[in-house]
């Protein structure tokens, strides 16, 4: 066991505090992509990369890259990193911890005299969170060569995404999938309560859940609330309320089968939304996530059947807005992370990520895996988001051990 860690926990904490201080005034912790505050944070990171002896650049997708050449040419790159952009009011550790840990691994290996045969790369991906342009994972999609071309024309306050990417150092016309990455590793806070509740130090991610979003519109008939008999109504809200409850029950049943599954009605609106009118129209949006594709397909079939069974007075439209399949992490990398965690004396468990991550896109072009560290109360995307430096440092040590093993193997 290696509880006397070789990484510098104080340096990790100092870096996290410095980035936390770069936030929109009065809005901790806000540093959204394509904003002046994001640019300031990127500038700080670039200086820290350079101080660590890394060659600093931006790739075509607007990702900030630090690189140290390996001793044997042509073996490819072991890449570490995450993202430094945040959601509004809630990004002190989400993504940021992964970038800081990647930097610390690079510094530690250099200071300890570990000259890698492979190139070592660290990355701050551009706009992992949903950006002002309404899209996310821009940098990792670009690195994987799957950034939709039509996204370039998206606009926000008169600026296109193409222009915004150029403003942060990208070159959209040169985007292509990288073919030199031999492994990608990402540390991230869990964003849930499983590790804390189970008393584990770390989570080794086996898969990133697929996310499907389904819009359902129920149309009944708006009528006078006082004169329309209860037996003759086309109340869209009553139908919708029963459907929401049924979705919750179905999701619980599927989750109880052992594989990660969630379903949430996260958007809900009704019309005309007046006290004295029978609701005539309801729109809802379901966010469903599953590690097992068969579970998701079964749930979608269940939605169709449940909607078809609604009263004849209610017209139903079901539309799939997006449907992303789950992404398994690389089995060999998972085994290496397990072994490194054992060597470091970390209590760890395998688990599914219910949130999306840049690793899902890196997995399209290279073996990829993730390490989770606990976050207080499972809270994330909020000002109360917190992770202990000791946990982050332990995760950094596990990544460093894994990098050494990968390089030697």
Q: Going by C-beta distance under 8 Å and a sequence separation of 6 or more, which residues neighbour residue 329?
A: 205, 206, 207, 208, 359, 363, 368, 369, 370
C-alpha gyration radius of the chain? 23
The helix or strand, by DSSP H or E, that contains position 217, with its residue range, turns out to be strand 210-219
Any binding-site annotation on 118? no
Any binding-site annotation on 182? no
Q: Distance between CA atoms of 89 and 143, rounded to whole angstroms?
A: 28
In the structure encoding, which two tokens stand for residue 158, read together?
């008169």
In the structure encoding, which two tokens stand for residue 356, read together?
């999306």
Q: Distance between CA atoms of 300 and 295, rounded to whole angstroms?
A: 9
Q: Distance between CA atoms of 82 and 103, rounded to whole angstroms?
A: 11
Any binding-site annotation on 156? no
Q: Going by C-beta distance under 8 Å and a sequence separation of 6 or more, which residues neighbour residue 248?
A: 263
Q: What is the DSSP letter of 380?
A: -
Any binding-site annotation on 188? yes
Provide the angle, in degrees to the nearest 10, between the axes of the packed helices 293-308 and 236-255: 150
Any binding-site annotation on 289? yes
Q: DSSP readout, 306-365? A: HHHTS-TTSEEEEEEEEE---EEPPHHHHHHHHHHHHHTT--EEEEEE-S--THHHHTTT
Any binding-site annotation on 107? no
In the structure encoding, which two tokens stand for residue 390, read together?
């000791």
Any binding-site annotation on 381? yes
Question: For residue 256, which phi and psi values (nearest 5 degrees)?
Answer: -70, -10
Any binding-site annotation on 197? no
Q: Distance between CA atoms of 337 and 230, rounded to whole angstroms?
A: 61
Longest Cα pair distance anywhere in the chain, in angstroms? 83
Residues in the chain: 409
Q: How far apart are the first and last CA of the chain?
A: 21
Report the binding-site residues for allantoate.
Answer: 213, 276, 289
Report the binding-site residues.
Answer: 83, 94, 129, 188, 213, 276, 289, 381
Report the binding-site residues for Zn(2+).
Answer: 83, 94, 129, 188, 381
């Amino acid at each position: 066991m290696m509880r006397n860690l070789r990484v510098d926990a104080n340096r990790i904490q100092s870096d996290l505090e410095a980035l936390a201080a770069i936030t929109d005034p009065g809005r901790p912790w806000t540093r959204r992509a394509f904003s002046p505050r994001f640019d300031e944070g990127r500038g700080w990171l670039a200086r820290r990369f350079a101080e660590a002896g890394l060659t600093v650049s931006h790739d075509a997708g607007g990702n900030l890259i630090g690189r140290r050449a390996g001793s044997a040419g042509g073996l490819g790159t072991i890449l570490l990193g995450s993202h430094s952009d945040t959601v509004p009011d809630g990004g002190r550790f989400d993504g940021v911890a992964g970038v800081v840990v990647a930097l610390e691994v690079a510094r530690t290996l250099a200071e300890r005299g570990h000259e890698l045969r492979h190139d070592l790369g660290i990355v701050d991906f551009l706009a992992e969170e949903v950006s002002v342009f309404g899209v996310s994972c821009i940098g990792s999609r670009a690195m994987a060569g799957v950034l939709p071309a039509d996204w370039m024309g998206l606009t926000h306050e008169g600026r296109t995404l193409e222009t915004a990417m150029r403003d942060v150092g990208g070159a959209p016309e040169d985007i292509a999938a990288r073919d030199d990455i031999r492994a990608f590793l990402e540390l991230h806070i869990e964003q849930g309560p499983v590790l804390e509740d189970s008393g584990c130090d770390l989570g080794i991610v086996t898969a990133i859940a697929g996310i499907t979003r389904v819009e359902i519109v129920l149309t009944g008939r708006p009528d006078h609330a006082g004169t329309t008999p209860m037996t003759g109504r086309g109340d869209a809200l009553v139908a919708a309320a029963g459907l929401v409850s049924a979705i919750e029950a179905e999701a619980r049943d599927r989750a109880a089968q052992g594989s990660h599954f969630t379903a949430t009605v996260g958007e809900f609106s009704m019309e005309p939304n007046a006290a004295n009118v029978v609701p005539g129209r309801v729109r809802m949006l379901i966010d469903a996530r599953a590690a097992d594709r068969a579970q998701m397909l079964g749930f979608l079939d269940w939605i169709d059947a449940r909607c078809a069974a609604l009263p004849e007075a209610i017209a139903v439209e079901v539309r799939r807005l997006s449907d992303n399949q789950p992404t398994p992490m690389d089995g060999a990398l998972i085994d290496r992370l397990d072994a490194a965690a054992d060597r470091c004396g970390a209590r760890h468990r395998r688990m599914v990520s219910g949130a999306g991550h840049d690793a899902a896109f890196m997995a399209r072009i290279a073996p990829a895996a993730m390490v989770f560290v606990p976050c207080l109360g499972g809270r994330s995307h909020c000002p109360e988001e917190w992770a202990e430096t000791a946990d982050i440092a332990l995760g950094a040590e596990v990544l460093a051990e894994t990098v050494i093993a990968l390089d030697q193997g």
